[in-house]
A and B are shown apart, each in its own frame.
Chain A
Amino acid sequence: MESSTLVGAERKKRTKSTIVMIVLGALIITAFIISMNTGFTRLSPLEVMRTLFGGGTAKQELILFEFRLPRIVISVLVGAGLALSGCILQGVSRNPLADPGILGINAGAGLVVMLFVSFFPTTTAAPVFLLPILALIGATFAAFLIYVLSYKKGEGLMPTRMLLTGIGVAAGISSAMIVLTLRLSPEKYQFVATWMAGSIWGSNWKFVTALLPFLIVLVPLVVYKARVLNVLNLGDQTASGLGAPVERERLILLAAAVGLAGSCVSVSGGIGFVGLIGPHLARRLVGPKHQFLLPASALVGSLLVLVADTLGRVILQPSEIPAGILVAIIGAPYFLYLMSKTK
């Protein structure tokens, strides 16, 4: 009797989650279409349609296929990747305020990319595929530093200490970046500043192909580990009691989170707060079970970055506001609100 109601509740939850995800998907598609229409050159929905099916003028084709579509696709991918990364970090650290930006992982990736950008010209083809790897190296370095510095014998990895350490490491890395920016020529400075502010700058199919492999490998791995995250969420003791190899699983998941954040940051720059807000909104919508939470977070993240990037192109035409700035302006107050509500 009781078990049947439990199963019923479970089924209800599943139906609700499915509906939420369908709605989110529909919203993303809507934003996708609106984003294709908007920009410096307006294209009407009809023109977009015609161009998509091969009937547009050469100029329309150029705008749509070479400028807008790759950028939109990248926004969607980056949003999903960062939100997933945040979702994992929150699950692993059992701290709802964890996020790759706050923890300094984005800064680590940014530093290495910036080092590279300031010494080499970037518009050429070769380094594009190098960038995600470089960003990964930086992100791993930062994550490793935070892990080592906040690990204490006997106490393990205390979530609060991890956050404080992350803030410290991020401050250190940003000051290193300031040193670098002053050496740059004005044009490069403008580029780097825009990049750091979190602009979807890699609006080029090459960046899509550079980013995609990471997501193709990491996303299924993360979804596969959803159950492990659920168990880890119960706390270390319960988790080990249930037979989970806590430390090993945690490392694997952390590595996946770092990989996602690093590769995404390499094309989008420092978009903070997506990893924080995405999972939170998702948790409100579908609850704490990672089987639903992970995909929902990814969808919310995609929607968020896509909308921010589209808005950023519209608000102050002809110049652009980087998506990261818009996300921070919306995200920081939300973070503060969350903080005041959590115990």
Chain B
Amino acid sequence: MSSKVSSASQPTESPTAKIHTRPWAATLILTGGILLLALGMALSISFGAADIKLGVVWEAIFNFNPELTPHQIIWEIRLPRILGGAMVGACFAVAGAIMQGMTRNPLADSGLLGLNAGAGFALAVCFAFFPGMSYMYIIMYSFLGAGLGVLLVYGFGAASKSGLTPLRLVLAGAAVSAMLAALSEGIALYFKIGQDLAFWTAGGVAGTKWSQLEVMFPWVLAALIAGLLISRSITLLSLGEDIAVGLGQRTGLIKLIGLIVVLILAGTAVSVVGAVGFVGLIIPHLTRKLVGVDYRWIIPCSAVMGSLLLVFADLAARMINPPYETPIGALVALIGVPFFLYLARKERRAL
């Protein structure tokens, strides 16, 4: 099997060979990033309304004693929150990376393309019509909502005469997001659940519970693994559909798998933190700059860097104005918007 692949790729080696990668940079990011992530998580656990020394953090994790209050704070409140943040960051970033690779659109991001708004709409529906629904079902509805969003955006984008240009996708995303947000707002106003929903969606990872993590973890893990498995095909897709087909890729299948992975990742992430945009836009761009254009490296590195961004953003969200928490989505947008504007300015092709 493997020999067949290598022999088959011999004559068509040129496009793949041209792919510019920096494996050493990627390895550095993966190892250094994970170390930094561990440090950020430790800091994040020790910092808060009750300051806890790092030594106690260590104790609580590896030698948990339910009698001690600090241990309980760490175990029941801070740890799930931080793990939730790390997971969500990885989800958004990998979803963005896969979307950018598959669509060859530098502006693709689950927030810009209506997925986040779709999942948010599903949340509003759950809150209004099925109060007290278990998290398992909420997460499933989020997937459905994200699917609805992306279906609408791509449906309308693809229906246009001159095809799916980046501008068209962003416009369709803006319109679909506006409509879904209007529907959610209408529901929220009518059922007077607006502020609950706002706290849920803008309050960041503060309320994450172990039960939530248990539900989301298998989904996220499966989606990330699937993303890694199709990463080589995504690299080929990112070179252009023709090249991918020429190399024997079943592009339709890959796109379908990629889309399902993206829906699971974005849906899960939104069900935890709400519609945080721009993570999926910034991180894959930075990663591509650092490690080159091979998605076998981009996807894992994006996951690590996305986790890093959210863990540190969450830390900042708590430090800026204690005891209030600044919504993490707003903080990320603060970095994300200038970045988006920069990309929009650079985009010189006929959009």
Contacts and interface: CB of A to CB of B under 8 A. Distances in A.
A48 B338 CA distance: 54
A17 interface: no
Q: Which of A149, A163, A182, A342 has most B Cβ within 10 Å?
A: A182
Interface string A306-336: 0000000000100101101100110111011
B190 interface: yes
Interface in B164-222: 167-168, 170-172, 174-176, 178-179, 181-183, 185-186, 188-190, 192, 194-195, 198-199, 202-203
B167 A160 contact: yes
A339 B168 contact: yes
Q: How large is the interface on B (under 10, 10 to 19, 20 to 34, 35 or more residues)?
A: 35 or more
B280 interface: no
Contacts of B13: none
A161 to B, nearest CB: 6
A168 B340 contact: yes
B341 interface: yes
Interface residues of A, number: 51
B344 A164 contact: yes
Contact of B277 (A171, A186, A337): A171
A135 to B, nearest CB: 20
A328 B174 CA distance: 12
B179 A329 contact: yes
Interface string A189-228: 1100110110000000000000000000000000000000
Interface stretch (B29-37, B155-163, B253-261, B283-291): B155-163
Given A178-B329, A179-B327, A340 B156 contact: yes
A152 B345 CA distance: 9
A332 B182 contact: yes
Contact of A272 (B178, B337, B340): B178
A343 B341 contact: no
Contacts of B168: 339
Given A179-B330, A324-B182, A163 B189 contact: no
B189 A343 contact: no
Interface of B: 107, 112, 152, 156-157, 159-162, 167-168, 170-172, 174-176, 178-179, 181-183, 185-186, 188-190, 192, 194-195, 198-199, 202-203, 277-278, 324, 326-327, 329-330, 333-334, 336-337, 340-341, 344-345, 347, 351
